[in-house]
Amino acid sequence: MSVSTPVRPAPVTSEAREPRPPRAAVATWLIPLGYVAVALFGTWWIAIDLAALRDGASDISRLLARMVPVTFGLVPALLGLVLETLWIALAGTGIAALVSLPLAAAASRDFTGPKPVQWLARGLIVVTRAVPSLVFAIVFVRIFGLGPFAGALAIAFHSVGMIAKMMTDVFEELTPAPRESIDAVGSSRLQSFVATTLSRAMPSVSSLVLYRLDINIRASAVLGLVGAGGIGVALQTAIGSLNYHLAAGIIVVIAVLLLALELISFLSQRAVAEHAHDGTVAELYRRTPDPTRPGWNRGRALRTGSAVVFAGALLFALTQVRFDPGRLSRSWQSTLDLLAGFVPPVIDPAVVTGIFESLVMALTATTVGVVAGLVIAVLSSPHLIRFAPLSALLRILVVLIRSVPDVIYALVFVAALGLGPFAGFLALSISCTALAAKFFTDSLENVDPAPLRALEATGASRLQVFVSGVWPRFVPSLIGNSLFTSDLALRESAVLGIVGAGGVGFVLQESVATLDYGTTAGVLICLVVVVVALEAVARWARKKVI
Amino acid sequence: MSASATRPENGPSVQLHDVGMSFGHKQVLSDIDLEISPGHFVALVGPSGAGKSTLLRLLNGSHLPTAGRVSVLGSEPATCSRRELQQLRTRIGFVFQQFGLVGRLSAMENVLMGALGSLRMPRYGVSTYPRDLRVRAAENLERVGLLEERFQRCDTLSGGQQQRVAIARTLMQDAEIVLADEPVASLDPSASLSVLETLRRLSAEDGFTVVCSLHQVDLALRISDRIVAVRDGAIVLDRATSQTDETELRSIYSDRAAA
Amino acid sequence: MRLALSLTVSLAAVALVASGCAESPNARGGSSGSDDPSELVFAVVPTEDGEDLAKSFEPVVAAIEKKTGLDVSMETVSSNAGVIEAQVAERVDVAVYGAFSYYLAQDVADISPVAIDQLTPDPGSGTVNSYGVVKAGSDISSIEDLKGADVCFTDPASTTGYLAASAGLIEAGLDPEKDINPVFAGGHDTAVTQMLAGDCDAAFAASTFIDDILPAKGVIKEGDVTKIWTSDGLPGSPMVVGNWLPEDVRKDVTAAMTDYDAVSAAEDGLCEGAEREAPAPWGEEYAGKKACEWGGTGAFAFEPATDAVFDPIRKICDVTDADVCREE
């Protein structure tokens, strides 16, 4: 560094980002403290008793024993379901990713267009995230009929909320300098966005879209509601009829599918790695005698190849989910009737208690998940421990944990602990751990290595580099991702209904099953409120920390 | 290739009259009067926080003055529409301390981005730019001595090389003015000198005006035609470089330390 | 900022105090499976037509508490597998769920059915049916006509929404997998509405949906659908008790169910303040009397049940040899 202490270039956009008072640290401890406080309350509320878990160990092993030997039923039929699931999830995720791009760009705080557009984009993101795919499925099946198209669309709508939200975060984390310089050449907003924001966000964006694809494959159970079949329904049927051999077989198939996806994701991330890791080719194109003509080398082939493969897979998936426009006119009236059922929304004490319970459980489970996920993430990132087999092992472990559906965890804990919130809470904690581990691993990997190398060059130990180089830059995403995990856990809390922990999941499912859509609407409104509140805390925290 | 040949009028490149600038309650600049003639290389010196960056941003319309008039290349950014401002900016190059490059893209693509103002649609990837622009990008990379590195990822280049890429990017604009905000503050002394010399040479060849803020007094004396010193939001010195000596300039910094 | 801080700190303090001193609303007696239980765990899985499930079982819980002298903690659970596994581990003492769940559970858990719901004062009135319906004016007039048709079902593990119909098709000489094109709609209501929307030619669903729920919600109107097939009566929702409970407790639970009916429960004050008027199908005898909500199906009473009540399910499973019926 030179002797001068350069002033950060003044922001181009407005006074909004004038130097802030140095209160940055507040959010970094206030939010964790809040989590701990809620977790303490939750511990009491849930009546956590780890000794009971030990006492139930034999019941767990008896249940697991009933899953072996694993069977696969009719293998061609199962493979057919896997493919069907894959196409629906691909089409849904692809549509969602395309819709999310402009939404996230408009919702980002760097958006310089009209304010109402920004509010609208933010509102759409929050609402689509808060509405469970179950509800989208009910509506779309009325509009588009039974079949994969309604399923893909339900998945797409729900995914928009999460993908766009994470994209917004990615966009906002980018330094403003390149965008300002391209704005300064007189480019249009769109040109500048594509050239400086999208291009830099590409690695993170593609990894989060792949991650959502992973979630959507597992979430395909909801497709049963729209008669699209898929592997999720087969799994639900197997569990519902206590055919655990087949259930275990299906889980193995899902795990293989997710591991394959993880491998693809890992390889493609390496191909487009954001930072020049050792071994990354520095030359993006091969030089040819004509200086203006970019030639082909391995890196370019990989980049172009993966883009073509993904685009091709998406297009193919879209042809697999057939859309029948003629049906729209026929279903108009019944759709209106259905939507009319949502009015007036009913918010009764059962809904409010349900939301409260779910929120307490989600926050408590997040606290557990964040701590466990942090340990996994730190161990599997190269900052402290550089032992590739361990990191690979942990990555695989996280995928395996994720491929087992919540209902199986719930069953295992119910066998050990009986019905009630404790079993549901443990199941939820496991899914939170997997979520948090995934988020944290990714953001630890995305920490810019240049300053770390500088620190290492001063002779600092790995621990010192981690504490003073990595950690401060990781804290914003730690806090942001923790809040986001709670947000997702709130909706995953349907698992609590499976085991008798009440919560909003049970209320929602029951209201849908009994066609009590007024209550469904009440639940949705409460969910939107909670998600908006969490989002507001997250935004406040990001503002303070970043 | 000479930009001065295409310039329609020969009035001053930049004209500031009684300009003041404040953010909320904080007065950053006051009573600035400045006129810069075409083709000149002006160094803007002064301690951190003196208002140099703000002054440069007034010149490309990123900030609008809260008092007085700013006129750049015959237009007033304050009265421009968004579209007109965009057009004005295509004629003004800007070089940042942090280079403002997209690290994971190639040098060539970053240079090509300088021409986005003359294109309509967004672009992604070197091959999406028209061939004539690629020819010019290669020429400009050659002019800053980086032709061989054209397809290298920018974040694998050295600091000095990255700043040259940024300069090549402004060349794509055929800019009439290049504004440089501490372009060498994060570079080592030898890279700093060579970057500034490149800028100076290109300015002489193409005839564009340069306004360059600098921390290093010695570099300012070595490279510029004229030195403007700013302190506490006001111009405290403005004269030809040949008539300025180092001690006088240094006092601008040390006075502040004494005060 | 100070406000946020003090709120957080006080929340933490409250949490600490609460966890130190007070009994959690979810705290457990934790004595299930022992010879001398101090608390019974009662689990309920929603059947299709539950209104407010927890509330409708409150009088039943009160009756059991009164007869056994034990505390009863009730859990409403959305997964039948969850309840059955808890029964396998002897952690749920009493449960009410669908007949097919019992058929699955009796294989793995040590349980007995003690009572089954009865919708009116007539014994056996708790049986349910599966209906096959078509859009009014359809060419299809009997189950035999379904050859080659698209048929909407609920899901493969539903008795009234698939299994019974599947047995009916086999008896009519049709293979439910090959001779028709089955479409699983996910729910009884969707099976019917999507049939009306033209996604399939016929639909099978539980009788309560076609007779009561869908007309009451205005989803179908009189004359919208034509019934082409009705199944034999299928058992309703049984109450199942764990055999690990001491004999006297099991007797008391059974007595609580069979001694009371919805009206006598109301007279005994088991649902004070939540009484409803006896519905018309209960007949003259009860007209105008106060009654309790008596379980999730709005039953009149529970009648004693034995394993033989479930023979219709066994028969369906024998006929269809369905995957979901297979024993471990």
pLDDT tens-digit map of A501-526: 778 888 888 888 778 889 889 999 99
Angle at which helices A75-107 and A298-320 cross, to 10°: 110
pLDDT digits (tens, 9 = 90+) for A144-155: 888 888 888 888
Please count the residues of chain A: 546
**C86 — contact with chain A (CB < 8 Å)?**
yes
Instruction: List chain A domain ranges.
Output: 36-65+341-546, 77-285+295-337
Q: What pLDDT does A18 receive?
A: 39
Domain A77-285+295-337 annotated CATH 3.40.50.20? no
pLDDT greater than 80 at residue C237? yes
pLDDT tens digits for range A309-342 = 889 999 999 888 877 777 777 777 778 888 888 8
Task: Look at residue A177 in the predicted model and tell me its pLDDT.
Answer: 87
Instruction: Quote the ipTM score.
Output: 0.83
CA distance C8 to chain A (A): 6
- Cβ–Cβ below 8 Å for B63 and A10: yes
Which pLDDT score, from 0 to 100, does residue C238 have?
92
pLDDT over 90 percentage in chain A: 18
Instruction: For A36-65+341-546, give the CATH class.
Output: mainly alpha
Judging contacts by C-beta atoms under 8 Å, the chain A residues touching residue C1 are 23, 26
Quick one: pLDDT band at residue A301, thresholds 50, 70, 90? confident
Q: Provide the residue type at A321 as one letter.
A: V
E-assigned strand segments in A25-155:
none
Class of domain C130-234: alpha beta
Q: What was the pLDDT predicted at A10?
A: 38
Percentage of chain C with pLDDT > 70?
87
Torsion of CA C307, C308, C312, C316, to 10 degrees: 60
Largest interatomic CA distance in chain B: 57
Q: In whole angstroms, what is the distance from residue B136 CA to residue C270 CA?
A: 90
Q: Give the mean pLDDT of C50-75.
A: 87
- In this complex, do A292 and B54 lie within 8 Å of one another by their Cβ atoms? no
B and A: touch, per 3+ CB pairs < 8 A?
A: yes
Confidence of residue C280 (pLDDT cuts 50, 70, 90): confident
Query: For A277-291, what is the mean pLDDT?
Result: 73
Selection from B45, B53, B2 nearest residue B23 by Cα: B53
Q: What backbone torsions phi and psi does residue C151 show, to the nearest 5 degrees? A: -125, 125
Nearest chain A Cα to C182, which residue? A227
Dihedral angle sign, alpha carbons of residues C213, C214, C215, C217: positive
Per-residue pLDDT of chain B (259 residues; tens, 9 = 90+): 344 444 445 678 899 999 999 888 888 898 999 999 999 999 999 888 888 989 999 998 888 999 999 999 988 988 888 888 888 888 998 998 888 899 889 999 999 999 998 888 999 989 999 999 999 999 999 999 999 999 998 988 999 999 999 999 999 999 899 999 999 988 898 899 999 999 999 999 999 999 999 988 899 999 999 999 998 889 999 989 998 888 888 888 775 544 4
C148 Cβ neighbours under 8 A, 6+ residues apart: C179, C180, C181
Distance separating alpha carbons of residues A149 and A141, to the nearest angstrom: 9
- Measured distance CA(A470)–CA(C2) in Å, rounded: 30
Nearest to C305 by CA among C234, C232, C239: C239
Nearest Cβ partner of B215 from A4, A179, A190? Answer: A4
Q: What is the pLDDT of residue B257?
A: 44
Q: Which of A181, A147, A157 is nearest to A96 (CA)?
A: A157
Confidence band for C97, pLDDT divided at 50, 70 and 90:
very high
pLDDT value, residue A174: 87
Letter string b/e over residues C164-178, b meaning 16 or more CB atoms within 10 A of that residue's CB = bbbbbbbebebebee
CB contact under 8 A, A146 and C16: no
Higher pLDDT, C10 or C75: C75
Residues with Cβ within 8 Å of A452's Cβ and at least 6 positions away in sequence, in order, are A383, A465, A469, A470
Portion 209-268 of C in contact with A at CB < 8 A: 213-214, 217-219
Q: Burial of A397 by CB count in 10 Å (0-12 exposed, 13-18 middle, 19+ buried)? A: middle
| Closest Cα in chain A, distance from residue B258 (Å) | 18
Domain ranges for chain C, please list them.
39-121+236-316, 130-234
Query: Are A46 and C26 within 8 A, CB to CB?
Result: yes
- Amino acid, single-letter form, for residue C109: A
Q: A186 — contact with chain B (CB < 8 Å)?
A: yes
Share of chain C above pLDDT 90, in %: 48
What's the confidence (pLDDT) of residue C14?
58
Alpha-carbon distance of B57 to B21, in angstroms, equals 11
Over residues C282-300, the mean pLDDT reads 87
Q: Given this model, what pLDDT does residue C16 score?
A: 55
Beta bridge partners of C43: C75, C95
Buried b (16+ CB within 10 A) or exposed e, C248-283: ebbebbbbbbbebbbbebbebebbeeebeebeeebe
- Residue C10 is predicted with a pLDDT of 63
Q: Which of B101, B117, B137 sits opposite A186 (nearest CB)?
A: B117
Which chain C residues have a beta carbon less than 8 Å from that of A34?
8, 11
Alpha carbon distance A15, B42 (integer Å): 28
* A421: contact with C, CB 8 A cutoff: yes
C104 touches chain A (CB under 8 A): yes
Number of A to C CB contacts under 8 A, please give it.
220
What sign for the dihedral angle of Cα A181, A185, A186, A188? negative
pLDDT over 80 at A451, yes or no: no
Comparing C39-121+236-316 with C130-234, is the CATH topology the same?
yes
pLDDT category, A535, cuts 50, 70, 90?
confident
* Per-residue pLDDT, C250: 94
pLDDT tens per residue across span A210-253: 888 988 888 776 676 676 667 888 888 888 888 899 989 988 98
User: Is some CB atom of chain A closer than 8 A to the CB atom of B87?
Assistant: yes
CB contact under 8 A, A41 and C11: yes
**Hey, what are C273's tokens?**
């303040």
Cβ–Cβ below 8 Å for A229 and C187: no
Q: Which fold has domain C39-121+236-316?
A: D-Maltodextrin-Binding Protein; domain 2 (3.40.190)
